[in-house]
Structure 1
């Protein structure tokens, strides 16, 4: 027996609905009243023997000292015995079933508590409404560790059926709930509730618990954006101006890096495979054109090998798309950047080292200006090489 078993049994007994027990007692009382009345009127017994005969028959003990003789008496005894057996069996099985169900709920709660306790560098999402659903989907697509907190019991019960989500039914404005969710070891907190007051209170509480926590909050009203920043939020997103995807990108920033590479389209698949092998996701791609102040950006969201294989399968089948992509690579001299998200910085560093070994990367978190300077140097080298070839 585990050390948590007595506590689980205690909690399970506490959680068994009292109305079930009350209805059972009422039904039993009605049956006993029926037995005593029938014993008095049909069996012609006195009150003491009527109580005795009723209890013995309902309990199916059958001592045989009082025996029904007439057909009416026999039919009464049969109905009393069947009623007693049926009622006791029903009540007993119902209580056992409810007790077992409660034990399982408590056991799963203990298991979830242990799982959450072992987490680190995870995200906590408060509120699983319209915006929270989008944020959760974006995080789970990238294999990020996620704990969801929501007050609505119906929502959390549905989420508990999913194996890829850890969920807490509770109030995130309470310190105990945030601590249960492992806020001290979390990398980010995302406030997606539709109540700005709750978001403000959670932000203040969370910042007191963890100074380094990355906090992203939703603001339903524009005038509350400034208040949320002042209370300790790192990023505040207004759904009036953007949606759940923007909240996700704001939340992922602690585990987001920009890598700059130089290669042609033939090396792209290998580059993607290395990134995905480390459990990272490619969020978008930037093409650095000479003399443009800002790079051209394209959102790609590659988080699985199936997506990559599907993309390159399409490229192989569509010659025009392949030529267009090759033309882009040629125009930027193969220099482009990826924004990549990962489970943590340690994994991202390993991924960067793997790309360096394959000569697929020459810079991390470089500015557009820095990349343009490097591009110019590459351009000079290539001109020299071309001149040497001509000679």
Structure 2
């Protein structure tokens, strides 16, 4: 899941915001090791060119060879310091003080600091993933993080869904980056594979939204999800209307035909620009009007849908949807749920203002 850094960061308006450069910890370790070897090589050459200023007590002549220079450099940078080779000339000692000593500090910082950083980051990531898997359940899985997937997540979050209870499944690197930027956990892989969906916790999810760009992939993903979780509520997107019945047969509870819906909205807008504007308003979150579902209140039992403060357009009874004018729901009963049109400033799932403290008219 997202960590503390997933919170949005305020940036100056008009400023340049470059994407964060994410690198593998092992790549970073390799880069720093190469830098450490470069420090080692430079120090060896420095000692070798100044070899006349050093004395080797283990050699009769006291002079240094290239191997001696490498040996002295390694024991010096590692702070071992056996003392058998030492700078004797004044300029050699000065060079050790102002050049070799800083190189020794940098060498140790690269090796020890980088190793600790890699181990700590890996351990921290493993712990975070383990904790996330332990607490994951009753969440929402979004298959595909394109335009439709992002819009679905935005709608869920705006209606009270916790971001930490949303898991994205997508094979692309761009979707991974976008979802992480939105503070979402991501499972990278093909959602038609059982092992990928199992890593996303589909078997314990409450809802699964399938929004890939291919109808055949959506059908196969729906079948796999339904096999893993017979009770999950599955919403699938279909590009073509002719594929919608196949998705429902595959186990989808609801199928949204994107091309058909867009075509109808375009047709309505051409016939009546005003009607098209109203439909667009209903589909846009946070502005003007909203379509919402809410439970029935105790004081609303027995009333007609047309008599309520909310503009009721449908009634959900026994998992079936009835239009507000259907004789079956001419009188509202306990357990009913209302589909209403209301101002966007009101919480979509809440009763009308002023009735928040009233009891819901649930069955039993």
Normalised to the residue count of structure 2, the TM-score between the two structures is 0.59
1:51 corresponds in structure 2 to 70
2:286 corresponds in structure 1 to none
Structure 1 residue 267, shift from structure 2 partner = 8.6
Structure 1 residue 241, shift from structure 2 partner = 2.5
1:126 corresponds in structure 2 to 143
Give the match's secondary structure for 1:233: coil
Does 2:143 correspond to 1:99? no
Whether the aligned pair in 2 keeps the contact of 1:219 and 1:239 (CA below 8 Å) is: yes
Structure 1 residue 308, shift from structure 2 partner = 4.7
1:281 corresponds in structure 2 to none
Pick closer, same or farther for the CA change 1:285–1:70 going to 2, 3 Å: farther
Task: Find the aligned partners of 2:254 and 2:322 in 1 and give their Cα distance.
Answer: 23
Task: Find the aligned partners of 1:289 and 1:232 in 2 and give their Cα distance.
Answer: 28
Whether the aligned pair in 1 keeps the contact of 2:26 and 2:118 (CA below 8 Å) is: no
Does 2:258 correspond to 1:239? yes
CA deviation string 1:218-274 (max 9, x = no partner): 11234433443343333321211237998xxxxxxxx987787428999959xxxxx
1:325 corresponds in structure 2 to none
How many residues align structurally? 274
Pick closer, same or farther for the CA change 1:166–1:28 going to 2, 3 Å: closer
Pick closer, same or farther for the CA change 1:234–1:265 going to 2, 3 Å: closer
1:326 corresponds in structure 2 to none
Query: Which aligned pairs between 1:276-287 and structure 2 lie closer than 5 A?
Result: none
1:225 corresponds in structure 2 to 244
Pick closer, same or farther for the CA change 1:289–1:82 going to 2, 3 Å: closer
Which has more helix, going by share of residues?
1
Task: Find the aligned partners of 2:205 and 2:41 in 1 and give their Cα distance.
Answer: 62
Pick closer, same or farther for the CA change 1:19–1:132 going to 2, 3 Å: closer
Whether the aligned pair in 2 keeps the contact of 1:59 and 1:85 (CA below 8 Å) is: no
Whether the aligned pair in 1 keeps the contact of 2:145 and 2:168 (CA below 8 Å) is: yes
Task: Find the aligned partners of 1:241 and 1:71 in 2 and give their Cα distance.
Answer: 87
CA deviation string 1:331-360 (max 9, x = no partner): xxxxxxxxxxxxxxxxxxxx9x9344xxxx
Whether the aligned pair in 2 keeps the contact of 1:56 and 1:63 (CA below 8 Å) is: yes
Structure 1's unaligned 5+ residue stretches are 1-14, 247-254, 270-283, 313-350, 365-391
Query: Which aligned pairs between 1:153-164 and structure 2 lie closer than 5 A?
Result: 153=173, 155-156=175-176, 159-160=179-180
Give the match's secondary structure for 1:218: strand
Structure 1 residue 287, shift from structure 2 partner = 5.8
1:280 corresponds in structure 2 to none
Task: Find the aligned partners of 1:27 and 1:72 in 2 and give their Cα distance.
Answer: 27
Which runs of 4 or more aligned residues in structure 1 lie more than 6 Å from their structure 2 counterparts after TM superposition?
243-246, 255-260, 263-267, 304-307
2:228 corresponds in structure 1 to 209
Structure 1 residue 81, shift from structure 2 partner = 2.9
Pick closer, same or farther for the CA change 1:305–1:289 going to 2, 3 Å: closer
Structure 1 residue 86, shift from structure 2 partner = 1.0
When the two chains are superposed, the root-mean-square deviation of aligned CA atoms in Å is 4.5
2:201 corresponds in structure 1 to 182
Does 2:102 correspond to 1:82? yes
Normalised to the residue count of structure 1, the TM-score between the two structures is 0.56
2:30 corresponds in structure 1 to 22
Task: Find the aligned partners of 1:228 and 1:70 in 2 and give their Cα distance.
Answer: 85
Pick closer, same or farther for the CA change 1:152–1:111 going to 2, 3 Å: farther
